[in-house]
């Protein structure tokens, strides 16, 4: 009996294999990209997807995803995605946003896209700081966390409290699917992928707005080794940002 | 052929796969690749069980995983 | 078609847009533009389009960005404070070379200002209120009829150059009702193809990309060179203006939009009653500004008077065109005060007196 | 031929539609026309007015600086616009307001439009009474044109009021005829 | 004080502001301005002030509005796209006549553009990127030292005129380190009183009001007349420029900011190596633009070359100043490409060649 | 025994008695103004209060309140109030905003002022439409409600769902006090006043952000008589926007 | 003196007070005030119990309410 | 006197601080100085470089178009800047990269800085080795100025590395002395 090798894991066709991302070593932005691309590939919609990149470390996402894309202004990806989806209701439209982009400057746009039940999917990368601009405080920065604009640690009396975006959006009637996952270990990566798949499925079924928040690492600005950065997610972020599905369309398990 | 293949040129040497491998089969090379990183590799092929978890955590599309199967009658 | 309808400029612009094939409108209410938005709210859905009230002007312009990038004919409309909020988005659209039509029904400023007509957003419109080296094509109608005609054409112009066309209106023409003959409805199938649009990759090997980010300076410089080449082309092909009694004019009045109509009334009166040979030069495209045509016309005159409902903005472009060849004077009011015909008459008389050769006042 | 008017009053007094009926009717009679509304500084409960032009020539500018006719429904409007009427022009006001007009070089018509409207049981048609009065002075618009214009200006759900409006117009004509007599 | 410190322009501006009595900073991160913001984050709290990271540039400028209205010396800083988002707020500040200092470290545009230095926001800065007839006082330093000095003075200027002062910088001077001698710290008690500020009515019978709404057109026109009178005063009192070798210059180069330093290097080389009598005219206040001084200087020359890191914006003000008296040429690059000294040399040589009387090329 | 008259109700000194507001007859903006002024007077802080008017029908609020005021740009009142409060931490600072102002264009500003726990008080007038600009849809417009931009009634598939602002802000850690009252009858007016008082008290005690949402009438744009408009609040708005205190500082009854 | 005083010049005739009065003591006048509104007034003074509710609902600071009390020895 | 340098390499290789030490030391030696950083198009994991000028005269412009010295730590930097060095100038590179330099009109020094740094057990001081090499070529900055500059450039929590840095600088000087010998 001869033995052959059956593929267990191969790179997705949804990302360009000819380009290496600009992300720092161990940054889980790369994992999130892969999960989205895998889901789009598995759903068979790569050819009819339009993505929206936002301003943050993922600003160059359009260089990696093998789908048509638009680059949005800082914080405005949900508005841009809305414009696209209204013109092309039968295409799959997603926005990929960081926590500065979505939860600071873009708060109005995400709340209203969600309230409208806009039939788009938002992938929300919560890495508790502004990665791209070298580590300033984000709306999701934890109390006490040091950043370049909270050099002594975030003091809520001065700089306020972190925002739980998934919970905030869950007060609205528009969303069909809201979940928070994490990328800090393989089990959670696989769970995150299931969330992402359900989000896109909700869109394909025309159920309305879907969002997956992903706790993600920023080893560079956290000043941690990549593996330590995953520990930081598990030990510090997860307790403050509970994981799970907050909103599911009826009839979805 | 190894169960796990690394596209070493893409590897950024972050070590996530190394720490994620439940079998301790992976390690990083001494020598840097063109980008200046120390790429991961299958240091102990015998330990690998093709679970695929190294690929699941890799942010950079470096890893392919295969599982050896008996080459039975081709399925129709 | 062919029939004249009594319509507000705001409504005429909305209807003209729909007939030009615009099926997407994203906007936010603001006086004195709201009738345009409300017309779209009433009519678009029934004609196969989408009206969406955005949560702000910032969102509206970014929805326009998305829709334009997806290949649609799309429009938004606002008034001065809202237009200020759109500046970042407009700069992005310039960088990504997206076509769309934007209407600014200018009101008095600065700040919250007032609701009355003004022309004080000329600089913002023509020099680029946003960051970077870019231009909007700026068209300034002076009546509901012309507003409808220009909006209708604007969609073609926008598509031709992949550039935003701004209709700079004021609340006189936006809210006045006059008879309007509307252009025929375009067959959506007849609209130009947009192979660059992001509509899903389909069979294409390479994804399409709508973008204005160029991290390498040389690439951004290349984009800017391409844009500048386009702008030169637009200057050559899209400069518009109208003239009245300029043939043998001794003096020229330069005015646009509703101000031009007040100027016309004043000139008419002066020609009739005092026999003064004053002509009207009315820029229709504010960018590209009809500099050459104006320079040519001004050359034979004794003086040029620029009239604006502002403290003097277009007058800079007039001076740049005339470049010292003849004296350039300014008359204007702003903040919603509309000059009366009599004031315009008076201002012209003043210029005439000061530029008559026999009055040897040193000019300027 | 040119006719220029300013019609002014409180927000709810139908000044805008009065002007619009004249403009619409003028258009169907072949004139060049324009109608320009303007709202007082306060949006809420403020004054409203409109500028109307009918002309043989293309309208130079829809703004009426100095109207031939001022129709004023309340005191603030009268105070604001009376001085603007061209010498030899005319002012139509609600009876009781005439004392506020100090000019001698214009014709002044004070008409009990509200009272008349009240007699129809609907004060809202006072504007139509005034319209009738103006039409009596300026017989340049045919009845058919007026009726057609009314039909377009008045929102569909109020079309049952049309006969009332027409009657109010006739009443206004009569009032003016009497006033001139 | 007195001691020279090696500092980045961004840091020098931040420290100078604190020493000028600025205790409030509201801002949002953006490259290449973030070091300024981060300096404030590190230092303000310890010196009795408040640093607050706003949720956006829109919020930042409106926090500045509130703080300025409450009588504080207050500052924000941003870069091009963020500056576009501030346009509505700046127009409001103009209308309400609020003093503050705003820094725009310009980067390449349009749109998201790039992170490299540029000067392509000149129009936006000087002609009013927002709506309405208003002006910011615009100061353009060309070194970290000058940046510190101008920021320090800007707070006084802003208070004097109740007007926003914009520091138009670029990332060369913002990120370059050079020795900087910092001005002395102002005693907060020595700062001018602001009886108009909204600090609570206290004993006053009439409340104070910070506002730009004037629903009656005449009132808004009155505001505009007051503003214009102020702007004329500022033109008379706050016009700034520097000159180098202009005394007997045959040609003039006009450039500001970092571009002026490149121009200076080029001129130095040409004077040294080829003996060409070229002078540098460097506007420091971009608004008010030093038109008269420039016209006077240009009058005796054979030609003027404007150099910018843009496709040509300030050149319009140069042409307006010179008004055809001598030829005005332009050389520039944009999008983050910084012209090399050699290119500047070449551009000057070209102008010289074309404006030498013996080369009888018809100019323009 | 002689009889004298003891005042039961007299106009507050917090409003100018020499000016009549520009509000339409029966518009409860006027009631809200009065309540705020009464509370400020009763707390004895009129002389040390700075108010922020916003863009909406209440844009001229500065003409009526007898306190120092600033007029904010549309939606930005919380940012303006933040600027004031940071400079003058010992003054009482409040913003008065409509639902278009606060919940549409100003969503980012209100969420972030709340998340920061900014020590200001926001009076939020929810009248389910844009009054000032003549009755367009607001983020709070009910499903099915006709406005000039939803001429056939708000269709959620097209125009999304109304936003419950108080509930949305209640997901944040920053606020000290959040309540929703209504102005549709005297009992609720008095309740609303108690809420407003507690909100300002929270500020005076330095507890952080406070907001009172008030269901308010817009007879003009609703096309109803003033009394009918109050019925509309009771019958239509209250069921969708539950009244009560959502957040109280600890130790407050 | 009436228990309820109206500043009729300020009244916008909205009728909220009329409908809020638990005793039905209020009505609106036939004649319009300077602003053109029909002001409210205490039509049946005898019914009024000085509850103050009319003033509580009035949006326009029109109403003052007083309660008759026995003029006892002034409280110290 | 004027010295102009471009120092270039990967983000983490300390190129910015190398340049800054020269600038700071230059300042304390009384020169006019400037230091200008620039980041490659990719923020993350990209290349970095800085421009340094020491001069007797005020610095006209902090940009160095054509440096007298290029210190290059990696291939991309070398490829980008080698052609820009003035004729007669010099290029300092990590050993192994020298093959990529095709110019004949400059002096080329290939130095095993990494290897040397490794010998100190810390590859991060390779930049200091290069600094030493440059100082050997340009003996215009005193030891005290350098040490003082180091103290200011290096963040406080790494001050324990100072002796190591100084030793690396000395090693660099030696390498250069040998290279020139
Ligand atoms: C209007 C505007 N403001 C600021 C910036 C600068 N900027 C770029 S990315 C960014 C923050 C990104 O942080 P986040 O969204 O959390 O993404 P991350 O990099 O952490 O993935 C900022 C403030 C910009 N490009 N545009
Ligand atoms: C930037 C900007 N956009 C739009 C407007 C126009 N505008 C004025 S008030 C208003 C809506 C007000 O509605 P709301 O906040 O609900 O207050 P209300 O009038 O209902 O009390 C709008 C859109 C403006 N002034 N500025
Ligand atoms: S800066 Fe942080 S978020 Fe950005 S790529 Fe690096 S690790 Fe990832
Ligand atoms: S497939 Fe599993 S066992 Fe094999 S190397 Fe990867 S993680 Fe380890
Ligand atoms: S996780 Fe991927 S990039 Fe990281 S070391 Fe392993 S293979 Fe290399
Ligand atoms: S429009 Fe509506 S909210 Fe505005 S004043 Fe009138 S009733 Fe009140
Ligand atoms: S006080 Fe009470 S009883 Fe008297 S009128 Fe007013 S509501 Fe009626
Ligand atoms: S509630 Fe006030 S405004 Fe309304 S009718 Fe009564 S007294 Fe007049
Ligand atoms: Mg982030
Ligand atoms: Mg509202």
For the segment D97-124, what is each residue's pLDDT rounded down to a tens digit?
999 999 999 999 999 999 999 898 888 8
Taking contacts as CB-CB distances below 8 angstroms, the residues of chain C near E127 are: 123-124, 127, 313
C52 touching F, CB under 8 A? yes
Closest-CA residue in chain A for F158? Answer: A116
Judged by 3 or more CB pairs under 8 A, whether F touches D is yes
Tens-digit pLDDT profile for residues A206-233: 999 999 999 999 999 999 999 999 999 9
Closest-CA residue in chain C for F99? Answer: C55
Q: Which of A147, A217, A218, A225 to mutate to test the pocket of ligand 3 (most atoms within 8 A of CB)?
A: A218
CA–CA distance from H115 to each of H158, H166, H172 (Å)?
22, 17, 11
What domains are defined for chain E? 4-237 (3.40.50.970), 243-354 (3.40.50.920)
Closest-CA residue in chain H for A133? Answer: H43
Q: Look at residue B74 in the predicted model and tell me its pLDDT.
A: 56
Taking contacts as CB-CB distances below 8 angstroms, the residues of chain E near C94 are: 110-111
Residue H112 burial class via C-beta count within 10 angstroms: exposed 0-12, middle 13-18, buried 19 and up: middle
A185 touching B, CB under 8 A? yes
The answer as to whether F234 is a domain residue is yes
Helix, coil or strand: residue F214? strand
CB contact under 8 A, D35 and C258: no
pLDDT band at residue D171, thresholds of 50, 70 and 90? very high
Across chain B, which has 76 residues, the per-10-residue mean pLDDT values are 94 97 97 89 97 98 95 59
Ligand nearest to the CA of A104: 1
Express as a percent the part of chain F with pLDDT over 70: 98
The answer as to whether A96 is a domain residue is yes
Ligand 5: residue whose CA is nearest its atom 8: B11
The answer as to whether B70 is a domain residue is no
In this structure, of D155-164, E183-192, F62-71, the range with the lowest mean pLDDT score is: D155-164
The answer as to whether B20 is a domain residue is yes
Ligand 5 — pocket residues by CB below 6 A? B 6, 11-17, 39-40, 58, 60, 62-63
Question: Alpha-carbon distance A16 to C354, whole Å?
Answer: 71
Which of F111, F115, F161 is nearest residue A172 as measured by Cβ atoms? F161
H88 touching A, CB under 8 A? no
Tens-digit pLDDT profile for residues A181-193: 999 999 999 999 9
pLDDT band at residue A253, thresholds of 50, 70 and 90? low
CB contact under 8 A, C268 and D60: yes
The answer for residues whose C-beta is within 8 angstroms of residue E82's C-beta and 6 or more apart is E28, E30, E33, E57, E60
A205: phi > 0 → left, psi -120 to 50 → alpha, else beta; which? alpha
Q: Look at residue H46 in the predicted model and tell me its pLDDT.
A: 67
C341 touching A, CB under 8 A? no
CA–CA distance from C145 to each of B30, C178, C257, C321, G46 (Å)?
76, 8, 12, 29, 65
Q: What is the 3-state secondary structure (H, E, C) of G10-74?
A: HCCCCCHHHHHCCCCCEEECCCCCCCCCCCEEECCHHHCCCCCHHHHHCCCCCEEEEEEEECCCC
Q: Look at residue G75 in the predicted model and tell me its pLDDT.
A: 52
E193 touching D, CB under 8 A? no
Residues of chain C with pLDDT below 50 are 1, 359-364
Q: Which of B2, B17, B27, B38 to mutate to test the pocket of ligand 5 (most atoms within 8 A of CB)?
A: B17
Please state the domain count of chain A. 1
CA H179 / ligand 5 centre spacing (Å): 39
Ligand 1: residue whose CA is nearest its atom 4: E30
pLDDT band at residue F42, thresholds of 50, 70 and 90? very high
Tabulate helix, strand, coil % of chain F (nearest 5): 40, 20, 40
Residues of chain H with pLDDT below 70 are 39-46
H45 touching B, CB under 8 A? yes
Tens-digit pLDDT profile for residues E81-102: 999 999 999 999 999 999 999 9
Ligand 1 pocket, A136 CB below 6 A? no
The answer for residues whose C-beta is within 8 angstroms of residue H34's C-beta and 6 or more apart is E176, E177, E178, H23, H51, H52, H53, H59, H62
DSSP letter at A101? Answer: I
Q: In which domain, by residue range, is H139 found?
A: 2-180
The answer for residues whose C-beta is within 8 angstroms of residue G18's C-beta and 6 or more apart is G26, G27, G28, G40, G54
What global pTM score does this model have? 0.97
CB contact under 8 A, E209 and F69: yes
CB contact under 8 A, A83 and C203: no
Ligand 2 pocket, F136 CB below 6 A? no
E112 touching A, CB under 8 A? yes
Which ligand 5 atom sits nearest the alpha carbon of residue B58?
1
Q: What is the 3-state secondary structure (H, E, C) of chain E?
A: CCCEEEEEHHHHHHHHHHHCCCCEEEECCCCCCHHHHHHHHHHCHHHCCEEEECCCHHHHHHHHHHHHHCCCCEEEEECHHHHHHCHHHHHHHHHHCCCEEEEEEEECCCCCECCCECCCCHHHHHCCCCCCCCCCEEECCCCHHHHHHHHHHHHHHHHHHCCEEEEEEEHHHHHCEEEEECCCCCCHHHCCCCCCCCCCCCCCCCCCEECCECCCHHHHHHHHHHHHHHHHHHHHHCCCEEEECCCCCCEEEECCHHHHHHHHHHHHHHHHHHCCCEEEEEECEEECCCHHHHHHHHHCCCEEEEEECCCCCHHHHHHHHHCCCCCEEEEECCCCCCCCHHHHHHHHHHHHHHHCCCCCCCCC
Ligand 3: residue whose CA is nearest its atom 7: A218
Task: Give yes or no for a contact between F74 and E131, defined as CB atoms under 8 angstroms apart.
Answer: no
Q: Look at residue H124 in the predicted model and tell me its pLDDT.
A: 87
A45 touching F, CB under 8 A? no
The answer as to whether F228 is a domain residue is yes
The answer as to whether B73 is a domain residue is no
Distance from CA of A220 to the nearest CA of B (A): 11
Express as a percent the part of chain B with pLDDT over 90: 80
Q: In which domain, by residue range, is F127 found?
A: 29-247
Q: CATH number for the domain including D7?
A: 3.40.920.10
Ligand 7: residue whose CA is nearest its atom 6: G54
Ligand 4: residue whose CA is nearest its atom 8: B21
The answer for residues whose C-beta is within 8 angstroms of residue H173's C-beta and 6 or more apart is H132, H133, H135, H136
CB contacts < 8 A (E, H): 58
E185 touching H, CB under 8 A? no
**β partners of residue A94:** A51, A121
The answer for residues whose C-beta is within 8 angstroms of residue H129's C-beta and 6 or more apart is H111, H113, H116, H117, H168, H169, H171, H172, H175
Task: Give yes or no for a contact between E278 and E271, defined as CB atoms under 8 angstroms apart.
Answer: yes
Question: Alpha-carbon distance E145 to E6, whole Å?
Answer: 10
CB contact under 8 A, G66 and F8: yes
Q: Look at residue F2 in the predicted model and tell me its pLDDT.
A: 78
**For residue G22, which phi and psi values (nearest 5 degrees)?**
-70, -20
Taking contacts as CB-CB distances below 8 angstroms, the residues of chain D near F218 are: none
Task: Give yes or no for a contact between E327 and E363, defined as CB atoms under 8 angstroms apart.
Answer: yes
Q: Look at residue D40 in the predicted model and tell me its pLDDT.
A: 57
The answer as to whether G52 is a domain residue is yes
G68 touching F, CB under 8 A? yes
Ligand 1 pocket, E109 CB below 6 A? no
CA F101 / ligand 2 centre spacing (Å): 6
Task: Give yes or no for a contact between F166 and F215, defined as CB atoms under 8 angstroms apart.
Answer: no
Average pLDDT, chain F: 97
Taking contacts as CB-CB distances below 8 angstroms, the residues of chain A near C200 are: 47-50, 67-68, 88, 91-92
Task: Give yes or no for a contact between C136 and C166, defined as CB atoms under 8 angstroms apart.
Answer: yes
Ligand 4 pocket, B60 CB below 6 A? no
Please state the domain count of chain G. 1
Q: Look at residue H40 in the predicted model and tell me its pLDDT.
A: 57
Q: What ipTM score was computed for the predicted complex, to two decimals? A: 0.97
Ligand nearest to the CA of F134: 6
The answer as to whether A4 is a domain residue is no
Taking contacts as CB-CB distances below 8 angstroms, the residues of chain G near F194 are: none
Taking contacts as CB-CB distances below 8 angstroms, the residues of chain A near B27 are: none
Best residue of E25, E59, E85 to probe chain F, by most F CBs closer than 10 Å: E59
Ligand 5: residue whose CA is nearest its atom 2: B58
Taking contacts as CB-CB distances below 8 angstroms, the residues of chain D near E216 are: 41
Task: Give yes or no for a contact between A131 and A96, defined as CB atoms under 8 angstroms apart.
Answer: no
Closest-CA residue in chain A for C88? Answer: A73
Tens-digit pLDDT profile for residues E7-22: 999 999 999 999 999 9
Q: In which domain, by residue range, is G27 found?
A: 4-65
Ligand 3 — pocket residues by CB below 6 A? A 23-24, 27, 29, 57, 127, 131, 218-221; H 44
Q: CATH number for the domain including B19?
A: 3.30.70.20
Tens-digit pLDDT profile for residues E218-274: 999 999 999 999 999 999 999 999 999 999 999 999 999 999 999 999 999 999 999
> Quick check: A135 pLDDT over 90?
yes
Could you give the residue ranges of the DSSP H alpha helices within D37-101? 75-81
Ligand nearest to the CA of F225: 6
């Amino acid at each position: 009996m001869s033995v052959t090798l059956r593929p267990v894991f191969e790179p997705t066709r949804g990302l360009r294999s000819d380009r290496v991302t600009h992300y720092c070593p161990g940054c889980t932005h790369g994992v999130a990209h892969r999960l989205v691309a895998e889901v789009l590939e598995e759903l068979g919609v790569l050819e009819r997807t339009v993505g929206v990149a936002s301003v943050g470390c993922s600003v160059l996402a359009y260089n990696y995803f093998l789908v048509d894309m638009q680059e949005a202004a800082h914080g405005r990806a949900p508005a841009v995605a809305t414009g696209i989806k209204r013109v092309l209701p039968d295409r799959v439209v997603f926005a990929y946003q960081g926590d500065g982009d979505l939860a600071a400057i873009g708060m109005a746009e995400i709340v209203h896209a969600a309230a409208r039940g806009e039939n788009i999917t938002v992938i929300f990368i919560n890495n508790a700081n502004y990665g791209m601009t070298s580590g300033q405080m984000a709306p999701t920065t934890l109390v006490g966390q040091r950043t370049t604009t909270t050099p002594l640690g975030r003091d809520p009396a001065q700089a306020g409290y972190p925002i739980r975006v998934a919970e905030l959006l869950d007060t609205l009637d528009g969303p069909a699917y809201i979940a928070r996952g994490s990328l800090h270990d393989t089990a959670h990566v696989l769970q995150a992928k299931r969330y992402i798949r359900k989000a896109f499925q909700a869109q394909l079924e025309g159920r309305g707005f879907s969002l997956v928040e992903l706790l993600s690492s920023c080893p560079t600005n956290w000043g941690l080794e990549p593996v330590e950065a995953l520990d930081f997610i598990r030990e510090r972020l997860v307790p403050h940002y509970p994981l799970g599905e907050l909103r599911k369309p009826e009839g979805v398990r | 052929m190894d169960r796990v293949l690394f596209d070493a040129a893409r590897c950024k040497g972050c070590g996530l796969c190394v720490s994620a491998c439940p079998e301790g089969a992976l390690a990083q090379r001494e020598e840097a690749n063109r980008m200046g990183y120390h790429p991961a590799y299958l240091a102990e092929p015998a330990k690998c069980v093709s679970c695929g978890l190294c690929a699941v955590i890799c942010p950079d599309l470096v890893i392919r995983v295969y599982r050896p199967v008996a080459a039975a009658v081709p399925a129709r | 078609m062919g029939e004249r309808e009594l319509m507000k400029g705001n409504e005429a612009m909305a209807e003209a847009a729909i007939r030009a094939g615009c099926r997407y409108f994203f906007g936010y209410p603001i006086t004195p533009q709201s009738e345009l938005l409300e017309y779209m709210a009433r009519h678009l859905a029934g004609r196969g389009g989408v009206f969406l009230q955005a949560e702000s002007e910032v969102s509206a312009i970014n929805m326009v960005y998305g829709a334009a990038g997806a290949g649609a004919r799309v429009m938004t409309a606002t008034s001065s404070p809202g237009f200020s909020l759109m500046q970042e988005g407009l700069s992005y659209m310039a960088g990504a070379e997206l076509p769309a039509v934007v209407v600014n029904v200018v009101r008095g400023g600065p700040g919250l200002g007032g609701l009355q007509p003004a022309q004080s957003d000329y600089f913002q419109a023509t020099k680029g209120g946003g960051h970077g080296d870019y231009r909007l094509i700026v068209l300034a109608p002076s009546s509901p009829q012309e507003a409808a005609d220009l909006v209708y054409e604007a969609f073609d112009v926008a598509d031709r150059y992949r550039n935003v066309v701004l209709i700079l209106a004021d609340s006189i023409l936006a809210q006045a009702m006059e008879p309007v003959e509307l252009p025929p409805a375009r067959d959506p199938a007849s609209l130009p193809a947009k192979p660059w649009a992001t509509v899903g990759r389909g069979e294409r090997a390479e994804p399409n990309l709508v973008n204005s980010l160029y991290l390498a300076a040389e690439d951004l410089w290349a984009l800017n060179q391409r844009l500048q080449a386009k702008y030169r082309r637009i200057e050559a092909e899209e400069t518009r203006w109208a003239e009245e009694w300029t043939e043998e004019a001794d003096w020229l009045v330069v005015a646009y939009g509703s101000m031009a109509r007040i100027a016309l009334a004043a000139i008419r009166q002066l020609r009739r009653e005092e026999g003064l040979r004053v002509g009207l030069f009315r820029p229709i495209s504010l960018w590209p500004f009809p500099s050459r045509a104006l320079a040519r016309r001004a050359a034979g005159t004794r003086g040029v008077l620029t009239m604006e409902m502002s403290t003097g903005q277009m007058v800079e472009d007039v001076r740049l065109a005339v470049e010292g060849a003849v004296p350039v004077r300014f008359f204007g009011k702003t903040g919603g005060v509309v000059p009366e015909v009599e004031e315009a008459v008076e201002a012209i008389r003043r210029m005439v007196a000061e530029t008559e050769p026999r009055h040897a006042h040193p000019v300027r | 031929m040119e006719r220029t008017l300013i019609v002014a009053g409180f927000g709810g007094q139908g000044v805008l539609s009065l002007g619009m009926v004249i403009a619409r009717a003028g258009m169907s009679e072949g004139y060049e026309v324009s109608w320009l509304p303007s709202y007082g500084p306060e949006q809420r409960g403020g004054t409203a007015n409109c500028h109307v032009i009918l002309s043989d020539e293309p309208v130079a500018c829809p703004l009426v600086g100095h109207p031939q006719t001022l129709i004023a429904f309340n005191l603030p409007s009268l105070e604001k616009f009376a001085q603007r009427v061209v010498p030899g022009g005319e002012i139509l006001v609600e009876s009781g307001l005439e004392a506020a007009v100090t000019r001698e070089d214009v014709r002044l018509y004070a008409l009990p439009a509200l009272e008349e409207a009240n007699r129809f049981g609907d004060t809202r048609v006072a504007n139509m009474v005034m319209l009738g009065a103006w039409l009596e002075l300026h017989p340049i618009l045919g009845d058919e044109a007026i009726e057609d214009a009314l039909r377009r200006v008045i929102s569909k759900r109020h079309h049952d009021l049309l006969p009332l409006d027409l009657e109010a117009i006739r009443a206004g004509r009569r009032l003016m005829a009497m006033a001139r007599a």
